[in-house]
Structure 1
Amino acid sequence: MNVFEAVKQNVTTRQAAELYGIRVGRNGMAVCPFHNDKNPSMKLDRRFHCFGCQADGDAVDFVSRLFGLPSKEAAMKIADDFGISYDSRQKPSIRPKIREPTPEQKYQQEENHCYKVLSDYFHLLRKWEKQYAPQRTDEVWHPLFVEALQKKSYIEYLLDILLYDTPEEKKALVAEQRKEVMKLEQRIAGHTAEHDRGRSQRKSGLDR
């Protein structure tokens, strides 16, 4: 199986776009990275189509345009990044050089990263609100339950700005929240690691 067949059978355009930092809404719409798009006008699924600039194609076409690569090198990049095996005879001996992202693409990646961290934190807050809700009226409230009550609405407000407000307002928010996003990312990672350790310990206790 050559690299094009392997990629087309295993990766949708939406999967590739999300891996490379494009934020896709639940409805499959995203801000088009190929023109000055102010509102989501690109539909991503197995293929992609922009209703603004008419860009259209499959995952290989998308990555080719996104990184300025020839089609074959774009297909190889997807296969390598997704860990897809294919006929090695299709591979050249020299790895293709990827074009440096433009300032706009770098900002878009930062905005997508900001959205992902805030979204992950928002889901944690919702989880804590349910998990640590007091069961009795005289019970002392858990600190994570208190945090969920205090922060959930504010984080939801920030996410709404990143989804629906003007590019200028989004840029201001990303710059303003840069340090906080870094702290939240470290905290979420620590919480996830702690949760995984606890689950592993519970599992080993059951296995004894």
Structure 2
Amino acid sequence: MNVFEAVKQSVTTRQAAERYGIKVNRNGMCVCPFHNDKNPSMKVDRRFYCFGCGATGDVIDFVSRLHGIGSKEAALMLAQDFSIPYEDGRSAGKQPIRPRLRRETEEQKFKRMERHCFRVLSDYYHLLRRWKEEYAPRQPDEAWNPRFTEALQNMSRLEYLMDVLLSGDIQERAALITGHGKEVRNLERRMAELTAGNAAGSKEHGRNRRADPER
């Protein structure tokens, strides 16, 4: 089995997307990395399809386009990153080989960091937008919820930061990634904690419902 066949049988596009830093929600949707997509419009499973720009293909097509490399290089990258053995056509009859480790180029590293930074900021922005609606005061004399205040204080700044990542030159984008790296890591950690807390709360609510069906 050659590297193309081995990779396509072993790795789904969703697995590759998550391996290379793209966040996929429970429905298999993610922000499309191939156009200016602010909301998840790409479906990733074994193959991928973007409902916004029409990009489609298999896992090798996805990685080839994501990293700006050829199909064979993309297949070899996947084989290396997922430790997939394959037959080398030059060594018929021999045992399957594993690809040699390849180092990530500086350009690939920068693109990965850029995508990760934008994804965290975008997730936080959409969280704040939801808080702004859910926690808005309903009465003129009602005290402001801290989450509503946080949304008002940070949404405009986040819009600016995301705009720099989308349309700024490489120096501006690099400066943002370097200057806000710690903030992005803290935001990512905080949102993970919020998600874990919400999940725990939902489970507790479910247990209470089962324990008291009259509720």
TM range (shorter): 0.5 to 0.7
Letter in 2 for 1:25: H
Confirm or deny that 1:46 pairs with 2:48. Answer: no
Letter in 1 for 2:117: C
Maintained 8 Å contact 1:64/1:70: no
Once the two structures are TM-superposed, the CA of residue 178 in structure 1 deviates from its matched residue by: 1.0
TM-score norm. by structure 1 comes to: 0.67
Q: 1:17 to 1:136 in 2, by over 3 A?
A: same
Confirm or deny that 1:112 pairs with 2:115. Answer: yes
1:192 counterpart (192, 195, 212): 195
Once the two structures are TM-superposed, the CA of residue 11 in structure 1 deviates from its matched residue by: 3.3
- Aligned residue for 2:175? 172
Maintained 8 Å contact 2:137/2:144: yes
- Aligned residue for 1:153? 156
- Aligned residue for 1:38? none
Where does structure 1 lack aligned partners over 5 or more consecutive residues? 28-42, 49-56
- Aligned residue for 2:13? 11
- Aligned residue for 2:28? none
* Partner Cα separation in structure 2 for residue 5 and residue 186 of structure 1: 33
Where does structure 2 lack aligned partners over 5 or more consecutive residues? 23-32, 38-52, 89-94
Matches within 5 A, 1:29-68: 45-47=55-57, 58-59=61-62, 66=69
Once the two structures are TM-superposed, the CA of residue 61 in structure 1 deviates from its matched residue by: 5.2
TM-score norm. by structure 2 comes to: 0.65
Maintained 8 Å contact 1:64/1:74: no
Maintained 8 Å contact 1:126/1:152: yes
* Partner Cα separation in structure 2 for residue 70 and residue 175 of structure 1: 29
* Partner Cα separation in structure 2 for residue 62 and residue 72 of structure 1: 12
* Partner Cα separation in structure 2 for residue 200 and residue 94 of structure 1: 46
Once the two structures are TM-superposed, the CA of residue 25 in structure 1 deviates from its matched residue by: 2.9
Once the two structures are TM-superposed, the CA of residue 161 in structure 1 deviates from its matched residue by: 0.6
Q: 1:166 to 1:197 in 2, by over 3 A?
A: same
Q: 1:19 to 1:66 in 2, by over 3 A?
A: farther
1:25 counterpart (10, 35, 57): 35
Maintained 8 Å contact 2:132/2:151: yes
Deviations 1:37-77, CA, capped at 9 Å, x for gaps: xxxxxx882249xxxxxxxx834755897599667645646
* Partner Cα separation in structure 2 for residue 140 and residue 184 of structure 1: 26
Maintained 8 Å contact 1:63/1:69: no
* Partner Cα separation in structure 2 for residue 72 and residue 129 of structure 1: 44
Letter in 1 for 2:160: Y
**Which secondary structure state, in structure 2, belongs to the residue aligned with residue 58 of structure 1?**
helix
Deviations 1:100-143, CA, capped at 9 Å, x for gaps: 10112112211111111111110110111111111211211100
Percent of matched pairs sharing the same residue = 36
Q: 1:17 to 1:205 in 2, by over 3 A?
A: closer
Matches within 5 A, 1:66-145: 66=69, 73-74=76-77, 76=79, 80=82, 94-145=97-148
